[in-house]
Each structure stands twice: as C-alpha cells, then as structure tokens.
Amino acid sequence: MFSNLRSLIFKLDPETAHNLAIKSLKFNLIPNVLEKDRNNPLFKSKLFNIDLENPIGMAAGFDKNAEVYNSLFKLGFGFVEVGTITPFRQYGNPKPRVFRLVEDEALINRLGFNNLGSKNVLDRIKSNKQIGLLGINIGPNKDSVNRLKDYLDCFKTFQDVADYITINISSPNTEDLRSFHDQTKLNELLNTINKEKQNLGSKIPIAVKVSPDINNREIKKITEVLLSNSIEFVIVSNSSDSTRDSLNNIQKYQKGGLSGKPIEAKSTKLINEFYKILDGRIKIIGCGGVDSGKSAYEKFLAGANYVQLYTGMVFKGPNIVNMIKKELKELLIKDGVKNFTEIIGNK
Ligand SMILES: Cc1cc2nc3c(=O)[nH]c(=O)nc-3n(C[C@H](O)[C@H](O)[C@H](O)COP(=O)(O)O)c2cc1C
C-alpha cells in the first residue's frame, strides 16, 4: 500500500508530509500495518532491565511532541524516543527546513528543535500512558543564556515519566550545541545531571547522543567522560554535517543535518570505534541509515545492542519494522544463532 502512496506523498513538501503522517498515526488511519511475528525469541532482549520485544527503536525527531508514541509501538517498534524537547516552546528555523533527497535515500533537516516545550509535552505523556519503552530526548532552547540549566530543568521534568532520558549534545541545527562534546564541558554537564539524579533518588538510565562527525581522539575523550559518569547508554549517532559532494540530489548542499543511507557506513564505523573502547561497559544504540534487515544486522555486528531509525521510515513506510524483522530473521537463522545478542560485536 505504501509503495502506491509514496509517489503521491513525495509530491508534498517533506514537513507537510510528516505532519500528515503524525495526524494519520494519531487518528489511527494506518489500519493495515500491525506488528507481525511478535514474541519471537530471536529478537528478545532487555533495555535498562525492561523486557524488550525487539531491538528496533524509533529515533528522536519523528515524534517531537510525544503525540504518537503508542501508535508507533503498535507498528512494532520495540522502543520509542520522543523529542528533542526544550524547556520552552520554540518555533525552530524558518521554513522550508526539511529536504528530501530521493535519489540518495536521504533527508537534510535544519528544523532547530521545533517543539511545544516541556510542560506541554509532560501533560500529554501523563495523560497517555506508554504501552512500551519510552525514551525522552532533551536539549536546550536556542536563546537560552544557561544551557546547562535547560538540560537540568528538562531532566527534572521528565525523570519520573520516562523510561530513559537522552541528553542530546549533537544536533547540528542549534548553534554551538556540539561544543558539549568537549571533555570538560561534557563532564560538567553529566556531573550536574548525575548530582540531580542522586538528589531526587532517581534510578532513571541516561543515554548521551553523539555526533557522527567526530574523530578517534574525540571518541576516546568522550568515552572517558561517559565511563567516569556511569552513563548507561550512548546513541551513535545523530545526523551529519559531512560533505555532500558524492550525493546526487540537487538540494545536497542545503544547510542542515544529513540522515539516511549516505550516513549509514559512517555511523556503523563509529559504532565499532565506540564498541572497541567500551567493550560492553556502556551499551550502544546504533542509529544512522537503518532501513533493512541487513543494515540493522551490520549495526549489531559493529557492536550496537539496539538500533534506531527515522529516515528509513520516510522511504520505506510504516511497515518498516515488520520488514526489518523478516529480513533480520533470515540472516540470524543462517548464522545459526538463537538470539540476535549473540552477534553483537562479531565484526
Ligand atoms: C527530520 C529530522 C528531525 C530530527 N530531529 C531530531 C531531534 O529533534 N533530536 C535528535 O536527537 N535527533 C533528531 N534527528 C536525528 C535522528 O534521530 C537520527 O539520529 C538521524 O536521523 C540518523 O538516523 P536515520 O538515518 O535513521 O534518520 C532528526 C532527524 C530527522 C531526519
């Protein structure tokens, strides 16, 4: 059904198409897609000690305002991350700000954390109990004079409704946000969050989401900070700032973060670098260009314990989790394993 609709949907501006997708999910207008092959032991694992039906998650940015996470669980996603949410509502950058690069199976976005603000989103989540594992991704407001306080405020707001909190330091569309990759700055941020976590007596697991545009020296320093702050998870990675010369679509030089197929190999390589250093001490959520069983399989081989996707759903449609599970199952059966966790890091 999606393949018939795709050419019509792709005639719309990408942000309009996205808003339509959110509305369709909200009002249950995607009746033909329901999770298949539920409870297959091949895909079972745990995330933060909670049982997970499968390791395929929806990445942040799709459900920015926590409107459709329960519909996403029904499509089969094993976990869903909403946000990025900032303390106060913000419009984001001027439109157009999302570009669809069809030939490259990629998107470029410079949305700039458009969201309704933490209070609004908190009320919505409280009135709509999650039926699966829900991550909440937080970040600072664009004009904030104290970004550290913004992270802290959001952390306090969401720590008792989320199943995990992601500290997003890697959006390319909020100026200077990526400076939190600096060792001292990151340490200060994570330390502050951890102190608050202790004060509140909270056990909420924390994930840090990193940029794909970092070198081995930076990876080493970041892992040191993550380890010394007992961070539970690292998400590798956000969208990329990298050069676009090899892309085909005419819009390839639009300013913003590149996602989808062109960043797949880069993110997989980065996952492997993190894996080699961390050696299982911090779990990895692999993200970037996942859109098939094979692409998920490669992320696991590189060392990811879970995967997330966003752009793949734009190009492959709402049945994507079923499709990935079907292909992944074939690959795992060929390997003779009983559960996907057996192949993690076997690159
Ligand atoms: C339109 C769009 C908006 C996004 N917004 C966010 C966001 O608000 N916060 C965030 O951490 N990542 C955001 N991302 C990044 C994705 O979560 C993901 O890390 C990245 O797109 C790579 O995965 P993919 O290739 O499967 O899309 C966004 C991505 C896209 C395409």
Q: What is the pLDDT of residue 31?
A: 59
- The closest residue, in CA terms, to atom 22 on ligand 1 is 288
Whether residue 5 is predicted with pLDDT greater than 70 in this model: the reply is yes
- pLDDT over 90 (residue 243): no
Contact indicator for 316, 345 with CB cutoff of 8 Å: no
Share of the chain above pLDDT 70, in %: 99
* Structure confidence at residue 176 (pLDDT): 85
Asked if the model's pLDDT at residue 3 lies above 90, the reply is: no
Cα(337) to ligand 1 centroid in Å equals 31
Of 28-37, 147-156, 254-263, least confident by mean pLDDT is 28-37
Whole-number Å distance, alpha carbon 338 to ligand 1 midpoint, is 31
Q: Are strands 164-168 and 98-101 parallel, antiparallel or unpaired?
A: unpaired
Active-site residue (options: 171, 211, 237, 239): 171
The answer to whether the CB of 84 is under 6 A from ligand 1 is yes
Q: Whose CA is nearest to atom 12 of ligand 1?
A: 60
**Pocket probe mutation, ligand 1, options 136, 209, 238, max atoms within 8 Å of Cβ:** 238
Higher pLDDT, 59 or 28: 59
String of DSSP letters for 28-79: T--TT----STT-GGG-EEETTEEES-SEEEPTTSSTTSSSHHHHHHTT-SE
pLDDT in tens, 195-210: 999 999 999 999 999 9
Beta carbons of 268 and 290 less than 8 angstroms apart = no
Name the residue of 19, 239, 251, 311 to mutate for ligand 1: max ligand atoms within 8 A of Cβ: 239
More confident: 97 or 28: 97
What is the average pLDDT across 83-90? 97
Amino acid, single-letter form, for residue 314 = V
pLDDT in tens, 251-302: 999 999 999 999 999 999 999 999 999 999 999 999 999 999 999 999 999 9
Q: Is the CB of 259 under 6 A from ligand 1?
A: yes
For ligand 1, is residue 112 a contact (CB within 6 Å)? no
Q: How far is CA 219 from the centre of its chain?
A: 19
- Closest CA to ligand 1's atom 3: 61
pLDDT attached to residue 132: 95
Using CA atoms in the order 46, 50, 53, 55, what is the torsion angle rounded to 10 degrees?
-50
- Tell whether the model's pLDDT for residue 32 goes beyond 70: no
Give the best-scoring range by mean pLDDT among 20-24, 44-48, 283-287: 283-287
DSSP state of 10: T
Global pTM? 0.97
Q: Could you give the number of structural domains in the chain?
A: 1
Q: Which helix (H) or strand (E) holds 189?
A: helix 183-199
Q: Under DSSP, is residue 239 helix (H, G, I), strand (E, B) or coil?
A: coil
Checking if the pLDDT of 320 tops 90, the result is yes
Checking if the pLDDT of 242 tops 90, the result is: no
Longest dimension (CA), the chain: 55
pLDDT of 60 higher than 70 = yes
What CATH number corresponds to the domain at position 130? 3.20.20.70
For ligand 1, atom 18, name the residue with the nearest CA.
Answer: 238
More confident residue, 119 or 30: 119
Confidence of residue 338 (pLDDT cuts 50, 70, 90): very high
Distance 84 CA to ligand 1 centre (A): 9
CA 198, CA 187: separation in Å to the nearest integer?
A: 16
Q: Which residue segment(s) compose the domain that 144 sits in?
A: 2-343
How far is 114 from 174, CA to CA, in rounded Å? 11
Return the beta strands (E) in the chain as ranges: 45-47, 50-52, 56-58, 79-85, 98-101, 106-109, 133-138, 164-168, 206-210, 233-236, 257-260, 283-287, 306-309
pLDDT at 179: 82
Q: Which atom of ligand 1 is nearest to the CA of 290?
A: 26
pLDDT surpassing 90 at residue 28: no
pLDDT tens by residue, 153-188: 999 999 999 999 999 999 888 888 888 887 889 999
Do 220 and 181 meet the contact criterion of CB atoms below 8 Å apart? no
- CA of 297 relative to ligand 1 center, distance in Å: 20
204-229 pLDDT per residue, tens: 999 999 999 999 999 999 999 999 99
Does any ligand 1 atom lie closer than 6 A to the CB of residue 288?
A: yes
pLDDT at 2: 79
Annotated catalytic residue 242: no
